[in-house]
A and B are shown apart, each in its own frame.
Chain A
Amino acid sequence: MSERFSIDRREFIKVVGGGVVVLVGMGPSALLAQDRRRVYPEDLNAYLRIGEDGRVTVFTGKIEMGQGVMTSQAQMVAEELRVALGAVEMVMGDTDRCPWDMGTFGSLTTRMFGPFLRAAAAEARAVMLRLASEKLGVPRGKLVVADGVVSVAGEPARRVTYGELAQGRRILRTVDDTAVLRKVSEFTVMGGSPQRFDAVAKVTGAAQFAGDVVRPGMLFACVLRPPAHGAKLTRLDVNAAAKLPGVTVVNEGGLVAALHADPEAAAKALARIDASWETPAPPFDTETVFDHLVKAAKPGEAAGVKGDVAAARAAATRLFESTFHKGYVAHAPIEPHTAVAESKDGKVTVWASTQTPFPTRERIARELGLANENVRVITPFVGGGFGGKSAGLQASEAARLAKITGKPVQVRWSRAEEFFYDTFDPAAVVKLVTALDAAGRITLWDYHVVAAGDRGAELFYDVPNASIRVSGGWRGEGTELHLFGVGPWRAPGANMNVFAKESQVDIMAAAAGIDPIELRLRNMTDGRMRRVLEAAAAAYGWKPRAVPARTGRGRGVACGVDAGSYVALIADVAVDRGTGTVEVERVVAAQEMGVVVNPEGAKMQMEGCITQGLGYALTEELRFRGGEILDRNFDTYALPRFSWLPRIETVLVRNDGLDPQGGGEPAIVPMGGAIANAVFDATGVRFYRLPLTAARVRAALAKPA
C-alpha cells in the first residue's frame, strides 16, 4: 500500500462509512491542491466503496450532461472490480460527498480520469482476493472472481461474496502503481454498450435537473439585467414592484431582483422595476469585429517553428494566402442556467446546473464570505453544457439571494439571459500563407490565429518550414478583446482552426489539380491520421477526382485531432443556387480513440458532434451591436433541426494498444471545413467565413465569376 498523502484516516472513515474504500489519486498534486478540503486528501479525486451489501458506490466530482460518463465510468469500475454493472452506483458532482475536481470539460473524464478509476477498481479487486484467500484458506492463485463473488477454481460451492468480505471492515487503500488492469481481450463490460444508467429516468420525466428541485417556501427570482454589456445604471425605482402582493425586491451590492413564489409573478414584478441605463456607443458589431480583433490582439508568440519560413516563402513558386473568419457562437443548451439555493444554519446548499461544482462552490464561498466547507454544491443532471456551464454566475446569484432573503431561491435564466450571459465561442481570424511545390508537397505553412487559441492549430501534415502564431485565446489572455463573455465551447477554438487549415489544404489541392484526399495523404506520415482518412474514404466509397464537380452537389473532406482522438470526415452537400441553402445529405466520419469503452456511447457522441456541427457551419453566428446582444431566442438564432439531418455513418477505427481517448468533441472539429470544401466542390466557389448562411452563399453565387 502506498502512502502518497497524509490523511486523517479516522476522519475520512467517518465520512465514508464502513466497508472497503479505495481512494483514487491522480497527479500532479500541485495542480489539484488548489483547495483546502476538510477531510479529503489533496491529491484525491474520487473514491469507491464496497459496502456490506456488496454494492459498489463511486464518488466522483465529474458530472453527467449527456455525454454518458455516468454509464461509461461505471463500466470501467464493474470491469476491473468484476462486479455486475447493476451493482455499481454513481454519486457525481456533490461537493460534500465527492472529492475535489476541477470540472467536467476537455474530454478529460475518460482519458485522464479513467485510468485512475480503473486502477482503483483493480486495487479493490486485489483487496477482495486477499480477504477471500484468508477467509477460504486458499491461496490467491486458486481463486476466481465474477459478479462480485470469489470462489475456489473448480469448486463453485466454496465461495464468498464481496458483501460478506466487506462486512465489519474499515479498510482504506490508495491506488497502487502496481494495480494490474484487465486486458482488452478479457473485457466483458468495457467495450460493450449497456443500457444507459440515466435512460429510464430521462424518458419518464423522473430525471432531476436543477430547476426541478423544490424546497419549502422557495421563491423564484428574476434579476434585473442591463440592455447591453457595459451599460451603467443611472436611475432605479423599485417601489412599484415592491408593492405588488407576494413580491420581495432585493437591491443589494449591484444585485437587483424581484422574487415571488410563482415564477411568472416574479417576471411581471421585474417588468415593473423602473431602470434607466447609459449604454456606451457600440465600438464594433457582428461585421466589424474582425478588424477590431486583428488590431487589438497582442502579436503573440510563434510556436511550432520549423525550418526557415522566410526562405521557403522567397523560394515558393505557388503561394497561397488566405484569411478566414468565424463569428461568435452560442452554447444554447436547451436547459438554461439554473440554480436553487438554500441557506440554513450558516451553511448554503446550492443545486446547480454546472460543469464545475467545485469551482462554483469556491466562487459562492468567496462572494458570500463563507468558508468553502460551509457551501455545498449538488449537481443534478445537467441539460447540456458544451463548455458553457463552466462559470457558475446563476449559482452565485441564487446563493446571494437565498442569504439575503432567508428563503430558498431559484434562479432560472430566461432564454434572453442565456444568450446575454453566455460565454461564447469567440469570433476569430486566421491568416494563413502556404506553398506547394511541383510534386504536390506542402513546403511552407505560416499560420497566424487571432482569438481562437491554439487548440486544433497543430500540424499533422509534414511541412519542412512552418510557423504557428497564436494571438489571444478563448480564456485568460484574449478575453479583453471581447465586449462580452467568451469561454470554452465544445473543442474550444478547434472548430475555427480546423476550418482554416482544412480549407487551405483543399485550396491547394484544387489549384494543383490533385484529388484532395490524395494531396492529404501525400503530405502525411502520421499513421493514426492516415488510418482514419483511409477508413473514411473506404466507408464513403471515395473515387479520386481532381477538379470540382460544379453540379450543385459536392463532397468535402476534413481531418482533425482533438482530445487525443483522430477523426476524418466526409460530407456530401446539395446547394440550392436560388436560395443559397446548403443541405448536408450525408456525413461519413471515421474516428480512432484508442480503446473504446462504450461503442454505442462513442457513436452517439460522434452523431451529436456532427449534428451540432451543422449549426456553426451553416447558420450559427451571434448577432450583436457593441455590448447589445441581438439574438435573444431560437427564432433568430437557428439551431440544427430534424430536417437538416444528414445520413450519418460513423466508423470506429480500432486501436486497442492505446488507452481510451476523448470522444465528446473530436468529430465536431472537421464539420466546418468538410462542409465548406463540399460547397466548393458543388459550386466552384470558396467560402472563407463561417457560417455559410444561405444569404452569403446566394450572394457569392450571384457574383459573376
Chain B
Amino acid sequence: MTKTIRFRLNGTPTTIETDGDRTLLWVLRTDLSLTGTKFGCGEGICGSCTVVVGGEAVRSCAVPVSSVDGKEVLTIEGLAQGGVLHPLQQAFVEHGGMQCGYCTPGMIMNAYALLRADPKPSREAIVKGMEENLCRCGAHQRIVAAIEGVARGKGGAS
C-alpha cells in the first residue's frame, strides 16, 4: 500500500511515497541512491545493512520503511561532516579496520550506536556490542582497536 513517509535522512527532511512494507534497505539503496548501506544476508543476521534510527542500530534489511516515519535516520553517508571524517571513520582508517570494506559501513554504524549508548565501553562491551556483525575478511582485531581508540580518545560519537 502506498504511503507517505516523512523522516529526517542524514539531517535532511525527506518525504517519500511508496509501499510502506518495502524494506528500509532497498528504499535507501534504490529510491534514495544511498548505496553505502550493504546487503549481506537479507535476514537480519550479518549486520552489513546496519543504519542508525533514532540513535539505535537497526538492520535495514529487516525493517519496513514505514517504521522510520517521523524518525531520524543516519546512514554511513551522513557521518562525515563538511568533508571531515567522523572520529570513528578516522579511527577505522588509522587502525586499518577494513579489508574488502564490504562490512565496514555496517560495522561503523553499529559502533556509532554502541558508543552513543556507552561512550566509554570496555573491550568486552565492544566485543559484545559488535558480536552480531559479521566480517569474513577477519578484520575484527583492528575493528575492535579502532572502536577502543575512539572510546579512549574522544569520548565516543556525538
Contacts and interface: CB of A to CB of B under 8 A. Distances in A.
B75 interface: yes
B100 interface: yes
A200 B93 contact: yes
A203 to B, nearest CB: 4
Contacts of B34: 205
B101 interface: yes
Interface in B70-100: 75-77, 79-80, 85, 89, 92-94, 96, 98-100
A264 interface: yes
B135 A199 contact: no
Nearest to A330: B136
Given A384-B137, A611-B138, A641-B131, A634 B36 contact: no
Given A384-B137, A612-B136, A645-B127, A205 B35 contact: yes
Contacts of B85: 200, 203-204
Interface stretch (A64-72, A287-295, A473-481, A693-701): A64-72
B22 A264 contact: yes
B2 interface: no
Given A202-B104, A263-B26, A334 B135 contact: yes
A408 interface: no
Contacts of B102: 209, 333-335, 381, 383-384
B101 A66 contact: yes
Interface stretch (A38-46, A248-256, A396-404, A601-609): A601-609
A384 B100 contact: yes
B36 A206 contact: yes
Contact of A610 (B75, B130, B138): B138
B72 to A, nearest CB: 18
A74 B135 CA distance: 26
B140 A645 contact: yes
Q: Is the interface of B mostly helix, strand, loop or mixed?
A: loop
Contacts of A604: 96, 99, 139, 142
Interface string B41-55: 111011010000000
A612 B142 CA distance: 14
A586 to B, nearest CB: 12
A264 B28 CA distance: 13
Nearest to A202: B101
B107 to A, nearest CB: 9
Interface residues of A, number: 58
B155 interface: no
Interface in A380-394: 381-386
Contacts of B98: 66, 199, 202-203
B106 to A, nearest CB: 9
B138 A607 contact: yes
A212 to B, nearest CB: 4
B135 to A, nearest CB: 7
A384 B136 contact: yes
B134 A641 contact: yes
Contacts of A206: 36
A415 B49 CA distance: 14
B100 A66 contact: yes
Interface string A19-51: 000000000000000000000000000000000
Contacts of A161: none
Contacts of B105: 205
B40 A204 contact: no
Contacts of B134: 334, 634, 639, 641
B100 A382 contact: yes
B93 A203 contact: yes
Contact of B45 (A264, A610, A634, A642): A634
Interface in B19-33: 22-23, 26, 30, 33
A492 B140 CA distance: 23
Contact of B138 (A208, A381, A640): A640
Interface centre among A331, A334, A381, A633 (most CB of B within 10 A): A334
A214 B33 contact: yes
A332 interface: yes
Interface string A189-226: 00000011011111111111101101000000000000
Given A203-B98, A334-B48, A639-B136, A415 B36 contact: no
A600 interface: yes
A639 B132 CA distance: 11
A208 B89 CA distance: 17
B103 interface: yes
A643 interface: yes
Given A203-B93, A263-B30, A198 B42 contact: no
B14 to A, nearest CB: 17
Contact of B89 (A204, A335, A381, A640): A204
Contacts of B132: 641
A203 B26 CA distance: 20
Sorted from nearest, which 8 A-B pairs have the closest CB atoms?
Answer: A205-B36, A611-B138, A383-B102, A66-B100, A202-B101, A66-B99, A608-B138, A205-B76
Interface of B: 22-23, 26, 30, 33-43, 45-46, 48, 75-77, 79-80, 85, 89, 92-94, 96, 98-105, 108, 126-128, 130-144
27 contacts: A196-B96, A202-B101, A203-B76, A204-B36, A204-B77, A205-B34, A205-B76, A207-B101, A333-B102, A336-B39, A336-B40, A381-B100, A381-B101, A382-B100, A385-B100, A414-B42, A415-B43, A607-B139, A612-B136, A633-B43, A634-B45, A634-B46, A641-B131, A641-B140, A642-B128, A642-B130, A642-B131
